[in-house]
Amino acid sequence: MLTQDRHGKILELISNKGSVTVSELCDVFGASESTIRRDLAALTAIGKINKVRGGAMLLSQEFLNREETINKKVNANYAAKSKIAAYASSLIRDDDYVFIDAGSTTFLLACAITNTKARYITNGIAHAQELAAKGCRVTVLGGELKRSTEAITGVVAATNLQQYNFSKAFIGINGITEKQGFTTTDMEEATIKAVAMERSFVSYVLTDASKFGKVSAVTVAPIDASCIICDRCTDPEIQSKTVIKEVDAT
């Protein structure tokens, strides 16, 4: 394969997955590590990617200003999200008081939950329906319904949240960088996420690798405000700031 063609394929892979490792690229292209490392260095030099230890990721300045519908988001990177959701569900204990944020990976968490003894609070309409169908005790926050994400947001919802003290909170997010922290596209949704983190003994951001290196309009919290459950994180700066659980999505 010509170098230019390989570069194009590498950019496509990183765009789709958020980040890749050198070993993954060696397997995909049947190339040596030295060749792949030269490719990554060249693409970094022309401002296409960020080369990090052991691989590469999307540029941190990639900016997201549009929110996809919940159906589109669930289908994107479905295999990775399902593994993340399955691991997150295993953390829930009988005596937990759990907040589940609106979002695609958190919806898959609601689908994966088998513990019906814990108590659940959510601002996601689809999440509440899924939990109720399982026989779980679930409370839905009051507030304004955002049509695209089917999330309850607004001042009423944020005030409602202040009544609770959670043992665990599972949060969805749009972008993660070391500098901007956890970010999302909407101020009102950001407020709900931030309050839930503050009111929880421990919080977990559920994210697939595509969210790393992306920035949305509103910062929810700094990196050290939450643990991260993901399929893969290759950014050493983020790894140094908080607890990260990588779930094998293969």
Q: What is the pLDDT of residues 174-220, one digit of tens each?
A: 999 888 899 998 889 999 999 999 999 999 999 999 899 888 888 99
- The pLDDT of residue 168: 98
| pLDDT score recorded for residue 197 | 97
What per-residue confidence (pLDDT) applies to 88?
97
Residues 53-87: pLDDT tens digits? Answer: 788 877 654 454 555 544 455 556 688 899 999 99
Torsion angle (degrees, nearest 10) of CA 235, 244, 80, 247: 120
Q: Which residue has the higher pLDDT, 101 or 5?
A: 101
Please say whether the dihedral angle defined by the alpha carbons of residues 10, 16, 19 and 24, taken in this order, is positive or negative: negative
CA atoms within a 13 Å half-sphere pointing along the CA-CB vector of 101: 32
pLDDT of residue 60: 55
Fold of 3-59: Arc Repressor Mutant, subunit A (1.10.10)
Greatest mean pLDDT among 7-21, 38-52, 135-149: 135-149
pTM (predicted TM-score): 0.73
Q: Which residue's entry shows tokens 């997010």?
A: 173
Q: With respect to CATH, is domain 64-246 assigned 3.40.50.1360?
A: yes
Residue 103 has pLDDT above 80, yes or no: yes
Domain boundaries, given as residue ranges, for the chain: 3-59, 64-246
pLDDT (average), residues 119-128: 96
